[in-house]
């Protein structure tokens, strides 16, 4: 047998470990939409429970009670397995009730972070209560040695792998064929659907949580005989398990299990390759395999995780615009920090400096996650990369002080952009998983690889600036005040920069991308550029933090920058506030070795349970305040201010003349022409060979019943939906251009579901749209004048989230208008307007057309359409069934037939009115 085959076979056991956890991940995600990082902790609970039942003891996790209760009877194997499964199912119920039920409508990111909280709490408690000594676990399967073609394989590993596959099939059948399974799948589609079928979604969810916890517990029981049972035993298995789950797209159990087995087997073969080839890095190669598989699946296929039928999409708390760059709180903070540097001694001063450093790292999360909405789990790793680069830069290359850390941070920037590249193709949690896998590869292959980093780590030259020693010092001197001042100054610069970023146009574009990539692209924002910049800036900041940490340590080793610490750090940043500079700055207090920990230690005698408490706070924080602690207080302040401003006028959309005239459009007139535009979804032609033109200065209406393909056609025109045929602007074919490039050519659009950025002010929402005109090299129209054109001048400083439906429609139009479009595509702008407002809106649209813009308008308001449009195109089942003037359309029997009852009645009614 070839060596490779031998190694693939030997990898089965590891593969089965990953497969079993991947199975649990998939079951959990399918039924609850939670990417459950705590899966390994639940598995661990199952294995401890099982091991103790076998020894005649009951595991108790509640602090204060004894950890083990003697049952006086050693459970036989099958009973111990059943009892442990029941115990984990009960745990699943508890976790659901306490954590995920309150979060059932929360965004996926919040749920995932909450699961990190569960992980922290559970491993913390088990570590404290069970000690670190391995617990004896009996074999579940007979462990004979089988010899296959001269290769010895332990039979229990084969049984293990087979069992996992069998369980996957059983679960598949359960979900496929039983009423419970069907109901679960229905509920996963939409909660409302489940209600309609007469099932309680909550009971279903509870049952599913029990089942998924039991699956995880079962995985733990199967793993336990192979892996010595200690509290941290399973923590690192989560990454290959996540990779395997992604292979099954978090939906399909059999592919996920196959993925797990394949990862284990390939890793095993990789071990052999590494052992046989000296040129391969001696560490980290096996970690490349899950990463590579994730990248292949996610990036090549660009398949997002299927979302569930969730209604709530707001992923993160609002990122408030700083009112002033430095407010009272900021001044107090600066004074407090300076006073701290002067007054504090010893470990308190150390804690203060660590707080500064971690505040810097948290600010990198603020940029990447809080502003741009990309969940990166690699920020601490990026900080580490700057630390590891700083050594040789300042040492061998001899770069002087301010240059070396800056270059190191730039190095981290380059790495950070590479880490962020997959995010250009994928969105949401998969980005987090990719960054996690990449971080692990960096850690194993670089930081913890003795080929590159010695046992003493990479030592770092002491910083000095014009003869001033800025080093952290040692012994009695540590940490030197000069060092603290340097860190503080760097932190201040970073904080100002991030605050500036928030108010800059790039910052607005980031929030636009975070809110909705489609609408950002429609506003002419290059989503790719914004994401790359966000990762670059975030990495640079993390890099600066890493260099400061490096200077503090004097010599960096991998264990200050591990993936798991990074996970904890994200959790801390998330609790305290990941969407604002203030939150980022305060997050440092909750960090490792920060002031919070120091205070806890000094005043509460340290604590084994510190970590657990942080985890509990994290969970409570997410449930109660998805915007983080700081967001909560800011909300209080805002409500207070809002009360003070109660006199401000509320209604903006008025026909009483609060508008200015629209100047004739300066740019050249554009004519939009569609030639046989076709959109296929699978076998269905959503849009079928549609051809027509929109002339400048005219309004063309597009009508048709629901599902006729109207919005799909606009998506095709603007590049959001893949299409065949041609979209021609004047003489230019747009077919190969990306959405934002089409916008740059002069297309502007609004969305049916108005995709505004609720935490941006009206002005900021609109400013984003100027990107389009700038990209053409034109001077964009003044925001103020466009707002005035649409009667929004007095609402300019309010948050979009506070506006009425009609006002939001106008903001959306204003955003398109500041891009100075030659062609404007409006998707149901009158939705949610009453008839007076609708008439008023019609006048505005006519004025826009009169300024030289070609307008394509979709709306259901027939009165508006028939009164406003110069031409009307009627779409049904993707095909144009009629076109002509409003008069012609009104009298067209085909149109009436397409609209059937109600619309026909409407048409008839409207006809009689006129």
Minimum distance from CB of 459 to other proteins (Å)?
9
Tokens coding 300: 């090549």
Contacts of other proteins in 566-585 (CB under 8 A) = 568
115 binds other proteins (CB under 8 A): no
Using CB under 8 A, which of 517, 611, 764, 837 touches other proteins?
Answer: 611
Select the span of 26-34, 231-239, 399-407, 874-882 touching other proteins (CB under 8 A). Answer: 231-239
Q: Which of 579, 588, 585 is nearest to 625 (CA)?
A: 579
DSSP string, 242-287: HHHHHHTTTT-HHHHHHHHHHHHHHHHHHHHHHHH-TTS-SSSHHH
Minimum distance from CB of 566 to other proteins (Å)?
11
d(CA 212, CA 29) in angstroms, rounded, equals 9
CA 652 to chain centre: 35
Using CB under 8 A, which of 28, 31, 32, 123 touches other proteins?
Answer: 123
| Tokens 């060979």 sit on residue | 689
C-alpha dihedral, 811 to 813 to 814 to 815, nearest 10°: 90
Task: Output 269 or 759, the one with its CB closest to other proteins.
Answer: 269
DSSP three-state, residue 703: strand
Using CB under 8 A, which of 558, 574, 720, 899 touches other proteins?
Answer: 558
CA 455 to chain centre: 36
d(CA 771, CA 522) in angstroms, rounded, equals 10
Beta bridge partners of 854: 823
DSSP three-state, residue 723: coil
Minimum distance from CB of 57 to other proteins (Å)?
15
Task: Output 453 or 498, the one with its CB closest to other proteins.
Answer: 453
Minimum distance from CB of 239 to other proteins (Å)?
9
Neighbours of 695 (CB within 10 A): 16
> How close are the terminal C-alpha atoms of the chain, in Å?
87
CB-CB contact of 71 with 56 (8 Å): yes
Minimum distance from CB of 266 to other proteins (Å)?
11
11 binds other proteins (CB under 8 A): yes
Minimum distance from CB of 815 to other proteins (Å)?
44
CB-CB contact of 539 with 415 (8 Å): yes
- Strands, E, within 24-183: which ranges? 57-59, 68-70, 145-148, 151-154
Summarize the chain as % helix, strand, coil (round to 5).
60, 10, 30
Tokens coding 337: 């920090």
Task: Output 182 or 553, the one with its CB closest to other proteins.
Answer: 553
Using CB under 8 A, which of 127, 309, 333, 705 touches other proteins?
Answer: 127
Contacts of other proteins in 257-276 (CB under 8 A) = 267-269, 271-272, 275-276
Minimum distance from CB of 412 to other proteins (Å)?
19
283 binds other proteins (CB under 8 A): yes
292 binds other proteins (CB under 8 A): no
Q: Which of 259, 239, 240 is nearest to 249 (CA)?
A: 259
Neighbours of 61 (CB within 10 A): 18
Minimum distance from CB of 821 to other proteins (Å)?
52
Select the span of 172-180, 560-568, 678-686, 706-714 touching other proteins (CB under 8 A). Answer: 560-568
Binding track over 445-484 against other proteins, x by CB under 8 A: ---xxx--xxxxx----------------xxx-xx-----
Q: What are the φ/ψ torsions at residue 695 (nearest 5 degrees)?
A: -85, 150
| Tokens 């439906």 sit on residue | 805
Using CB under 8 A, which of 26, 597, 670, 872 touches other proteins?
Answer: 597
d(CA 316, CA 612) in angstroms, rounded, equals 24
Minimum distance from CB of 879 to other proteins (Å)?
58
CB-CB contact of 856 with 683 (8 Å): no
Task: Output 91 or 792, the one with its CB closest to other proteins.
Answer: 91
Task: Output 601 or 778, the one with its CB closest to other proteins.
Answer: 601
- Strands, E, within 753-841: which ranges? 823-827
135 binds other proteins (CB under 8 A): yes
Minimum distance from CB of 807 to other proteins (Å)?
47
Contacts of other proteins in 828-847 (CB under 8 A) = none
Residue 554 is classified by DSSP as S
| Tokens 């054109």 sit on residue | 789
Using CB under 8 A, which of 102, 309, 322, 593 touches other proteins?
Answer: 593
Using CB under 8 A, which of 25, 120, 437, 498 touches other proteins?
Answer: 120
Using CB under 8 A, which of 2, 132, 149, 706 touches other proteins?
Answer: 132
Task: Output 14 or 374, the one with its CB closest to other proteins.
Answer: 14
Minimum distance from CB of 584 to other proteins (Å)?
19
Count of residues touching other proteins (by CB under 8 A): 91
Contacts of other proteins in 407-446 (CB under 8 A) = 444
282 binds other proteins (CB under 8 A): yes
Using CB under 8 A, which of 226, 375, 713, 862 touches other proteins?
Answer: 226
Using CB under 8 A, which of 418, 607, 666, 900 touches other proteins?
Answer: 607
Using CB under 8 A, which of 601, 689, 695, 870 touches other proteins?
Answer: 601
Residues ≥6 apart with Cβ < 8 Å to 746: 667, 670, 729, 772, 776, 820, 821, 822, 823
CB-CB contact of 852 with 884 (8 Å): no
Tally DSSP H helices, then E strands, for the chain.
37, 18
d(CA 23, CA 203) in angstroms, rounded, equals 22
Contacts of other proteins in 13-42 (CB under 8 A) = 13-14, 17
Contacts of other proteins in 310-329 (CB under 8 A) = none
606 binds other proteins (CB under 8 A): yes
508 binds other proteins (CB under 8 A): no
Task: Output 21 or 790, the one with its CB closest to other proteins.
Answer: 21
Tokens coding 84: 């442990």
Minimum distance from CB of 594 to other proteins (Å)?
9
Using CB under 8 A, which of 49, 92, 107, 124 touches other proteins?
Answer: 124
Minimum distance from CB of 449 to other proteins (Å)?
7
Using CB under 8 A, which of 111, 249, 308, 552 touches other proteins?
Answer: 552
Contacts of other proteins in 335-394 (CB under 8 A) = 345-347, 350, 354
739 binds other proteins (CB under 8 A): no
141 binds other proteins (CB under 8 A): no
Tokens coding 768: 């984003």
Select the span of 150-158, 185-193, 305-313, 780-788 touching other proteins (CB under 8 A). Answer: 150-158
Using CB under 8 A, which of 62, 78, 133, 656 touches other proteins?
Answer: 133
Q: Which of 73, 30, 367 is nearest to 186 (CA)?
A: 30
Residue 665 is classified by DSSP as P
CB-CB contact of 389 with 410 (8 Å): no
Q: What are the φ/ψ torsions at residue 854 (nearest 5 degrees)?
A: -85, 125
Select the span of 5-13, 522-530, 720-728, 851-859 touching other proteins (CB under 8 A). Answer: 5-13
Q: What are the φ/ψ torsions at residue 654 (nearest 5 degrees)?
A: -135, 155
Pairing of strands 854-858, 699-703: parallel
């Amino acid at each position: 047998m070839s060596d490779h085959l031998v190694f693939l076979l030997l990898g089965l056991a590891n593969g089965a470990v990953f497969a079993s956890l991947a199975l649990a991940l998939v079951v959990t995600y399918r039924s609850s939409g939670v990417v459950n990082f705590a899966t390994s902790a639940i598995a661990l609970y199952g294995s401890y429970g099982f091991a103790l039942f076998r020894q005649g003891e009951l595991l108790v996790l509640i602090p204060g009670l004894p950890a083990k209760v003697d049952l006086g009877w050693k459970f036989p194997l099958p009973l111990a397995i059943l009892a442990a499964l029941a115990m984990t199912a009960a745990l699943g119920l508890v976790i659901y009730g306490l954590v995920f039920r309150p979060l059932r409508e929360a965004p996926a990111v919040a749920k995932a972070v909450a699961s990190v909280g569960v992980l922290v709490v559970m491993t913390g408690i088990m570590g404290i209560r069970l000690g670190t000594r391995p617990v004896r676990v009996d074999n579940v399967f007979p462990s004979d040695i089988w010899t296959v073609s001269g290769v010895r394989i332990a039979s229990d590993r084969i049984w293990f792998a087979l069992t996992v596959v069998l369980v996957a099939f059983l679960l598949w059948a359960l979900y496929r064929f039983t009423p419970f399974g069907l109901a679960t799948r229905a509920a996963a589609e939409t909660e409302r659907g489940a209600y309609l079928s007469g099932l309680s979604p909550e009971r279903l969810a509870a049952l599913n949580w029990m089942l998924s916890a039991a699956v995880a517990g079962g995985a733990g029981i199967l793993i336990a005989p192979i892996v010595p049972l200690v509290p941290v035993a399973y923590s690192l298995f989560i990454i290959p398990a996540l990779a395997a789950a992604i292979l099954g797209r978090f939906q399909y159990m059999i592919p996920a299990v196959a993925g797990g087995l394949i990862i284990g087997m390939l890793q095993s073969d990789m071990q052999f390759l590494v052992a046989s080839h000296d040129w391969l890095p001696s560490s980290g190669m096996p970690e490349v395999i899950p990463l590579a598989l994730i990248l292949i699946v996610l990036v090549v296929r660009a398949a997002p995780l299927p979302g569930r039928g969730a209604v709530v999409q707001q992923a993160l708390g609002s990122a408030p615009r700083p009112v002033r760059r430095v407010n009272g709180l900021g001044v107090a903070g600066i004074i407090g920090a300076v006073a701290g540097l002067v007054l504090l001694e010893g470990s308190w001063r150390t804690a203060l400096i660590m707080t500064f450093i971690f505040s810097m790292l948290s600010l990198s999360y603020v940029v990447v996650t809080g502003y741009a909405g990309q969940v990166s789990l690699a920020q601490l790793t990026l900080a580490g990369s700057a630390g590891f680069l700083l050594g040789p830069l300042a040492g061998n290359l001899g770069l002087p002080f301010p240059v070396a850390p800056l270059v190191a941070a730039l190095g981290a920037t380059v790495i950070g952009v590479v880490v962020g590249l997959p995010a250009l193709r994928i969105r949401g949690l998969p980005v987090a998983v990719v960054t996690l896998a990449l971080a692990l590869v960096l850690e194993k292959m670089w930081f913890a690889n003795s080929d590159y980093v010695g046992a003493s780590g990479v030592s770092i030259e002491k910083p000095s600036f014009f003869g001033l020693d800025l080093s952290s010092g040692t012994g009695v001197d540590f940490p030197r005040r000069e060092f603290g001042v340097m860190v503080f100054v760097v932190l201040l610069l970073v904080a100002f920069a991030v605050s500036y970023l928030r108010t800059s146009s790039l910052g607005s574009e980031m929030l636009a991308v975070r809110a909705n990539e489609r609408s950002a692209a429609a506003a002419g924002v290059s989503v790719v550029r914004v994401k790359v910049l966000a990762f670059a800036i975030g990495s640079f900041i993390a890099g600066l933090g890493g260099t400061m940490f490096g200077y503090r340590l004097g010599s960096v080793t991998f264990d200050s920058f591990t993936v798991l610490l990074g996970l904890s750090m994200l959790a801390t940043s998330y609790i305290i506030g990941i969407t604002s500079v203030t939150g980022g700055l305060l997050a440092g207090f909750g960090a490792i070795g920060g002031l919070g920990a120091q205070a806890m230690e000094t005043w509460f005698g340290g604590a084994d349970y510190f970590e657990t408490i942080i985890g509990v706070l994290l969970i409570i924080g997410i449930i109660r305040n998805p915007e983080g602690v700081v967001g909560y207080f800011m909300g209080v302040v805002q409500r207070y201010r809002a009360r003070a401003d109660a006199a401000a006028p509320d209604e903006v959309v008025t026909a009483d003349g609060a508008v200015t005239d629209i100047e004739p459009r300066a740019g050249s007139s554009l004519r939009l022409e569609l030639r046989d535009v076709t959109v296929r979804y699978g076998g269905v032609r959503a849009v079928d060979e549609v051809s027509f033109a929109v002339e400048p200065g005219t309004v063309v209406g597009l009508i048709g019943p629901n599902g006729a393909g109207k919005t799909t056609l606009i998506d095709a025109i603007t590049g959001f939906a893949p299409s065949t045929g041609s979209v021609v602007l004047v003489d230019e074919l747009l077919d190969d251009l990306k959405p934002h490039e089409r916008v740059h050519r002069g297309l502007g659009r609004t969305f049916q579901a108005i995709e505004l950025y609720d935490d941006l002010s009206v002005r900021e929402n609109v400013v984003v749209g100027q990107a389009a005109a700038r990209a053409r090299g034109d001077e964009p129209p003044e925001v103020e004048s466009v707002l005035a054109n649409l009667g929004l001048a007095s609402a300019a400083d309010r948050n979009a989230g506070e506006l009425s439906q009609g006002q939001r429609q106008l903001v959306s139009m204003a955003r398109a208008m500041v891009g100075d479009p030659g062609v404007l595509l409006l998707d149901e702008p009158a939705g949610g307007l009453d008839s007076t407002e609708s008439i008023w809106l019609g006048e505005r649209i006519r004025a826009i057309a009169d300024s030289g813009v070609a307008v394509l308008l979709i709306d259901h308001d027939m009165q508006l359409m028939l009164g406003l449009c110069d031409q009307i195109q009627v779409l049904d089942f993707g095909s144009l069934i009629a076109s002509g003037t409003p008069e012609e359309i009104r009298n067209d029997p085909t149109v009436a037939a397409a609209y059937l009852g109600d619309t026909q009645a409407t048409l008839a009614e409207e006809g009689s009115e006129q």
